[in-house]
Structure 1
Amino acid sequence: MIQAMSTYTMGVYKIPAEVTDHIHAMMARFWWGQDEAKRKGIWVLGTLKVFNDALLGRQSWRHISNPDSLLNKVLSAKYYKGKSFLKTNLGVGGNFSWRSIWPSKGLLKEGIIWRIGNGSSVDIWDDPWVDNGTSRFIASPVSDEVSHVSDLIDHNARE
């Protein structure tokens, strides 16, 4: 029961480390018991802090993948109007939910890469869009002549 309650909460809020440590200890005591003769079985418990970060990362992914959702529209209007969620600043005075979800976008930035499409949404210099094995960003000097991948595409030849 305690894990179900904490799972819902961890999907929306960043739980303080002291609280996750306490919950983890209670769950371990339940599964392992105090008396070796009465142990309830073997159970592998992951850290709740990592689980909390993963659930908040899922919320961040929802902001990117469902731009028309009601939650995304509300948060966008309040915190990052006219910007991409990945390029937002935390700002001052955000509510606890926003301050919890915002840092998890770092998890996404570590692993995402753009699908180019027509290239009009992909910034050549700031977005991860190439994969050369060591980096996902362009390492050459910035040029003012081109800013988006679409500037590099010959749309007539589709190259």
Structure 2
Amino acid sequence: TDPFLVEVQQTHQPIYLPDASANPDFQSWGTAQKIRGWICAPLIVHGRVLGVLTVDNHRYDAYGPVDIELAQAFANQAAIAIENARLYAAEQAAHQTADLLRTTNEALSRTLNTDDVLRTLLQHLIPVLHVDSACILLPDERGELVHLHSTYGYEQWTDVTAVVQSR
């Protein structure tokens, strides 16, 4: 675990190194021998550190207090933008899921035929769950799931009956 990231996680404060190349903990950052002045500002949203913004310079002691504050201000804005993008993506995914469920419900309500209902269910399930294939097993008269009722996506690569019988 990187000590700088641990510190930022714990303190929620930026870190400034006037000479990062002289700090043994900085060696894991790869190009440490070229970096001198370094700022690590946490990206914080709702008290949670999402990541860090780092600012590098090849000059020794390149940054002052104003630079550190400015880097943190940029980090704060970046954190808000990241969180907004995540929230927007989650909202879009929820809308897409609701639309898919509505479409599936409409398709399922068009028929009362069990075979058609189950086949339609599988056809709508595959793209939603991003799977290659699916099947519906129904119980036989003993209550065991051995009766293969509907399949989708298996026909290209396997004998579904053999797969079901092996379970």
TM-score range, shorter chain: under 0.3
Higher relative contact order (CA 8 A, sep 6+): 1
TM-score (norm 2): 0.26
- The structure with more radius of gyration: 2
